[in-house]
A and B are shown apart, each in its own frame.
Chain A
Amino acid sequence: MSDLSAALPRPVESQLSVVTERKLVRWVAIGIALAFLLLFLVLPLIVVFAEAFKRGLAGYFAAFQEEDALSAIGLTLTVAAIAVPLNLVFGLAASWAIAKFEFKGKSLLITLIDLPFSVSPVVSGLIYLLLFGAQGLWGSWFMAHGIKIAFALPGIVLATVFVTFPFVARQLIPLMQEQGTTEEEAALTLGASGWRTFLTVTLPNIKWGLLYGVLLCNARAMGEFGAVSVVSGHIRGLTNTIPLHVEILYNEYNFVAAFAVASLLACLALLTLALKSFLEWRHGADLAGGASH
C-alpha cells in the first residue's frame, strides 16, 4: 500500500473536494453558525462574568463568604462525590453486561438506560418524591425508621444518580461492543481469573472512554437543577445545591452574588469542555473504538 500512495501525486491543496461548496455558501453557513454561537453561548457567558464582577473582586468573593453559599458548594460536591462513583459502577456493570454477554431483555435494558434522557428531570424528581415523600409509597416506612430521604441528602443523591445514569453507560457500550471479547478470552486461556482479566485487560482498554463518561456525568451531576429542585425542598443552608442557590439569590434580587455563584458552574462547564476536547484530541481512537488492532 505504501508503494502505491508514494507513486500517486500529492493532492493539490487548493483543489476543491467534490463535497466542498462554493465560497459564498461556505461563508454564509459558517457565519450563521458563528452568529448563533455568539448570541446564545458566548454573550451569556460574558454576561455571567460581567455581572459577577460588577462590584469588583471584593463583591465577587463576598458571595462565597456567605454561609449558605459555602453549604451549597459543599452539598453539590458531596452529591457529586456520591452520585458519580455510583454511576461509574452502574454504568460499567451495565455496559459490561450489554457488550459482552447475550441475554434476554438486552434491548429493553438499552432502552431503559436512555430513559433519563427522555424523561423531564422535573418528572423524575417527582417520582422520587412520590416514592419517598412523607405520604409516599415507601416514604412512611423510612420515616418510621428515622430515615429521611425526600428533602434531604439521600433524595438529592437518588435524583442526581437517576438523571446522570446514561452518561457512563452510553459512552462505554459502543466502545466495548466494538472491542469485542477476544482479548478477555485470551487472558482467560492464559490463566487469568475473571477479576484479574477485568483489571488488566478490560479496564485499560476502556479507561479513556470511562474518564470521558465520568467527566460528562460529573458536569451534569453538579449542574442538575430540575430533579434536585423538586426533591430538595429548597431548605437554605441544608438542601440547596449550587444551581438552587443561584436561583434563590436571583429571586432575592441579589444579582452580583447570584452571578458570582453561577460563574462557578460556568467555570466547571469550561473546564469540562477543555478536558473533553483534550481527551478527544489525545485519545480519540480509544474513545470511539476502532483503534487499529
Chain B
Amino acid sequence: MTKEFGGAAALHDIDLTVRPGELLALLGPSGSGKTTLLRIIAGLVEADRGHVFFGGLDATSLPVQKRQVGFVFQHYALFRHMRVADNIAYGLQVRERANRPPKAEIRRRTAELLDLVQLSGYESRFPAQLSGGQRQRVALARALAVEPRVLLLDEPFGALDAKVRKDLRAWLRDIHERTGKTTVFVTHDQDEALELADRVAILNQGHLEQVGSPDDVQDHPATPFVMTFLGQAARFSADIRDGRVLVNGKPVPVAAQRSTIGRASLYCRPWHLTPTAIGQGHYTGTISGIRRLGSIRRIEVSQANGTTLEVEVPLRTSLRLGEEIGLEILDGVIFRDD
C-alpha cells in the first residue's frame, strides 16, 4: 500500500508507505499535521497535490464513501439517537440494495462484532448510557463492520483517562492481531505509539521526520527533533575532529563519521550520563533536585546559567541535594550543526 502526499498547507511533501497488515502510528506534537494526514487518507480532506494509493488503486479522486476506510474519531462520533446495535450496523444498512447483506446477516455480523469488542449484551443501549471506553469500542466495531481496506484511528484514546487508556491499548493490539487489518492511528503520546505500533511515523510541522520500528526511532533517531520528542534529552555543544567527538575538549565514546568535521550537537538521554567526582567528566553542576521514578532515581543537575539536565542514578545513592558534581557522558546521539 502506498500513499503519497503533496502538501496541504499543513503538510509538506509527505511520502509514506503503509505495509499491508501493519499497525502504524502517526506520532507528532499538536499542529504537526498528523490528523490532517489521516483525514487525507480517509478522504475527509483533499490534498492540494499528490496521490493516495490503496494497494495499486489510485484512490485520490475517490469520494470518502467509496474509499472503504474505517475511521474512529477521538470523541467517538457515535450516532447518539441510535442504539449500539444500530450504530454498528449503520455501514451495512446504508449500502445500496444490491450490495446490502440480508437482515439476518447484518444481525449476525453485528453480534459477532459486539462479541469481538466484548460488549455483548449492550446492543440496545444508547451511546449516552456507555462509558468512554465502551463508546470507543462501539466506534471501533462500527468501523470494522464495513470490512474496511484500512482502519484509521484519530487519537482513539485521547479522551479517556489513564487507566482505561492502558487497558484499551492492550485490547487494540489484541484486536489488530486477530483481524490483521492494516491500521494507522494518530497519537501525540510517545509511549502509546512506541508500545502499540509495528512502525512509528514521526511528524513535525508538516514534515515527515522519520519512519521506523519503535527500536529504530529510539536507538537511531534521524533528526534532533525525533531525539527530543521521544523522551528527555540533554543537548551538549560538541566538536568533531578526526572522527572523534569532543565535549568541552574531552573525547566522548560516541562514534562520528571520519569525514565529518566541525561543530555538532550531542544529545544524551538521562541514562547516557553518570555522576563522577567534581572536576572530572565533561560537565559540572549542582544537584538541584532528586526524584524517585520507580526503581531508579533521577537527579537534576543545574549550572549557574540556569540550564538543567537530568541524570539517572541507582535508587540507593550517596548524592545529596546542593552537592556539586561532575558528569561523564557514556553515550549519546550526534547531529552535525548546519
Which residues of A are interface residues toward B (Cβ below 8 A)?
A: 182-183, 185-193, 196, 200-201, 204-205, 291-293
Contact = CB atoms under 8 A, between A and B. Distances in A.
B90 interface: yes
Given A182-B73, A183-B77, A183-B79, A188 B44 contact: yes
Given A291-B80, A293-B127, A293-B128, A185 B94 contact: no
A190 B80 contact: no
Contacts of B75: 182, 293
Nearest to A183: B77
Nearest to A189: B71
B65 A185 contact: no
Nearest to A184: B77
Chain B interface size, as a band, is 20 to 34
Contact of B71 (A185, A192, A293): A185
B73 A196 contact: no
Contacts of B145: 190
A280 B71 CA distance: 35
A272 to B, nearest CB: 25
B75 to A, nearest CB: 6
A192 B65 contact: yes
B70 interface: yes
A186 B79 contact: yes
B1 interface: no
B125 interface: no
B44 A205 contact: no
B69 interface: yes
A188 B42 CA distance: 10
Contacts of B182: none
A187 B73 contact: no
A200 B139 CA distance: 17
A190 B94 CA distance: 8
B80 A183 contact: yes
A50 B43 CA distance: 66
B128 A189 contact: no
Contacts of B127: 293
B158 interface: no
Nearest to B69: A189
Contacts of A188: 44, 64-65
B90 to A, nearest CB: 6
Given A192-B90, A192-B94, A200-B94, A187 B128 contact: no
B163 to A, nearest CB: 14
Contacts of B42: 189
B44 A187 contact: no
A193 B71 contact: no
A203 to B, nearest CB: 10
B184 to A, nearest CB: 13
A191 B80 contact: no
Interface string B53-78: 00000000000111111110101111
23 contacts: A182-B77, A185-B64, A185-B73, A185-B77, A186-B77, A186-B78, A189-B42, A189-B67, A189-B69, A189-B143, A190-B90, A190-B142, A190-B146, A191-B95, A192-B90, A192-B91, A192-B94, A193-B65, A200-B79, A205-B81, A293-B76, A293-B80, A293-B127
A204 B75 CA distance: 19
Contacts of A183: 77-80
Interface string B142-172: 1101100000000000000000000000000
Those 9 A-B pairs whose CB atoms lie nearest each other, nearest first: A190-B91, A182-B77, A189-B71, A192-B94, A186-B77, A204-B81, A188-B64, A191-B65, A182-B73
Nearest to A203: B81
Contacts of A191: 65-66, 68, 91, 94-95, 146
A201 B91 CA distance: 12
Contact of B90 (A185, A187, A193, A291): A187
Interface in B127-149: 127-128, 139, 142-143, 145-146
Most chain B CB within 10 A, of A191, A193, A200, is at A191
Interface in B270-322: none
Most chain B CB within 10 A, of A189, A196, A293, is at A189
B113 to A, nearest CB: 13
Contact of B79 (A193, A196, A201): A201
A292 B77 contact: no
Contacts of A189: 42-44, 64-65, 67, 69-71, 143
